[in-house]
Amino acid sequence: MTTLGSKSTAEQALQGQSLAGKTAIVTGATSGIGTETARVLALAGANVVFAVRSVKAGEELAAQLKASLPATAGTFTVEALDLGDLNSVRAFVKKWLDSGRAIHLLVNNAGIMATPQGTTPQGFELQVGTNHIGHFVLTTGLLPALEKAGEARIVTVSSDLHKRGNGQRLVSALQKLPTDYSPFGAYGDSKLANVLFVKALAKRLPKGVEAFSLHPGVIKTNLTRSMGLSGTIFRVIGGLFMKSIPQGAATSVFAATAPELKGKSGAYLADCHVVDASKEGVDAELAEKVWKLTETAAQA
Ligand SMILES: NC(=O)c1ccc[n+]([C@@H]2O[C@H](COP(=O)([O-])OP(=O)(O)OC[C@H]3O[C@@H](n4cnc5c(N)ncnc54)[C@H](OP(=O)(O)O)[C@@H]3O)[C@@H](O)[C@H]2O)c1
């Protein structure tokens, strides 16, 4: 067996496994590593649902991907989901549960980074609201469908920048209390929330369902779109040293499928390995606090 590492691609991370007959949801599949994650899961036979805010863009991309894959690949369907708006998330969950379908893989991939200061329709700081609260409501709402699959995985794409998050500021943001806003500070808080969410979630999951968070690496995608000129410079210069998109999607595919992760639910991964999260990222007390505050926030 080849050793997986920082240069492995998503296809290599699959380790030859078949996902035929399995259903996978990928949020934010219209761009970047989400598109590649969706493509590779479908290549392995999974029926992949794009959970995206632009259905038109999702349908165009799904048709292109389908045309590029062999006949043995799974199907693509596209469903509307705006993670920044809890009404949209609740509508997605209701529609899914009403359909009675099981979910084998849920990849919480969508994200925004370093946006100008803003709030969600429910009044939460935009990055924490979109990257964390939206995925919290989605995942906890879909748990009955994940349990129905018998064996299921939840993968939440965090970032090494969770280390720039601050637990106290996150706690304030979840209560809509004023914080000192900085674009990367709020991004770090949202990514710290992703790591803490998975820690607390792992303790609550029904038998057979496992959850992982991860850092995908640094990859040239559209994530820097809110950064203006500095984003362009970052992409051009940094692009020389970054992972490719197939490499950036590898840890997501690994987290969703690797048999060797069985029994390690709650872990944080990078480069297709379990690694240490930050000190606050492994703080069980903070994880419980953030869980309870997010449960309350989710009622908004
Ligand atoms: N690229 C990196 O170096 C890096 C490093 C660490 C972590 N990450 C994480 O990796 C994940 C994927 O990022 P990427 O680099 O592939 O970025 P990307 O190319 O910008 O893709 C982000 C995806 O998220 C979607 N999205 C944004 N806001 C949404 C919302 N409110 N509702 C639903 N979908 C929404 C976007 O949809 P639209 O097309 O509609 O905008 C897009 O499909 C993110 O969670 C990011 O934080 C990336």
Query: Residue 100: what pLDDT?
Result: 98
Low-confidence winner among 80-89, 165-174, 178-187, 222-231 (lowest mean pLDDT): 222-231
User: Which residue reads 């050793």 in tokens?
Assistant: 3
What integer is the mean pLDDT of 180-201?
97
Confidence of residue 238 (pLDDT cuts 50, 70, 90): low
Closest among 52, 78, 81 to 66, alpha carbons compared: 78
CA 299 to ligand 1 centroid distance, Å: 25
| pLDDT higher than 90, residue 80 | yes
Mutation test residue for ligand 1: of 89, 194, 223, the one with most atoms within 8 Å of CB:
223
Over residues 265-285, the pLDDT tens digits come to 999 999 999 999 999 999 999
Separation CA 263–CA 273 (nearest Å): 14
Query: Residue 2: what pLDDT?
Result: 62
Query: Residue 69: what pLDDT?
Result: 98
Find all residues with CB under 8 Å of 283, minimum gap 6, and list them: 167, 196
Closest among 132, 131, 153 to 142, alpha carbons compared: 153
| pLDDT higher than 60, residue 1 | no
What integer is the mean pLDDT of 95-109?
98
Mutation test residue for ligand 1: of 59, 115, 221, the one with most atoms within 8 Å of CB:
221
Separation CA 196–CA 268 (nearest Å): 10
Query: Residue 223: what pLDDT?
Result: 86
Mean pLDDT of all residues belonging to the chain: 95
- Classified by CATH at the fold level, domain 16-229+249-297 comes out as Rossmann fold (3.40.50)
Neighbours of 170 (CB within 10 A): 29
Query: Residue 154: what pLDDT?
Result: 99
What is the DSSP pairing of strand 105-108 with strand 152-157? parallel
Sorted by where each begins, the domain ranges of the chain are 16-229+249-297
pTM to 2 decimals?
0.97
What integer is the mean pLDDT of 24-49?
98
User: Which residue reads 């995206």 in tokens?
Assistant: 52
CA distances for 32 relative to 38, 119, 121, 224, angstroms: 10, 24, 26, 11
pLDDT above 90 as % of the chain: 91
What is the number of the ligand 1 atom nearest to the C-alpha of 84?
31
Q: Is the dihedral of CA 219, 9, 267, 31 positive or negative?
A: positive
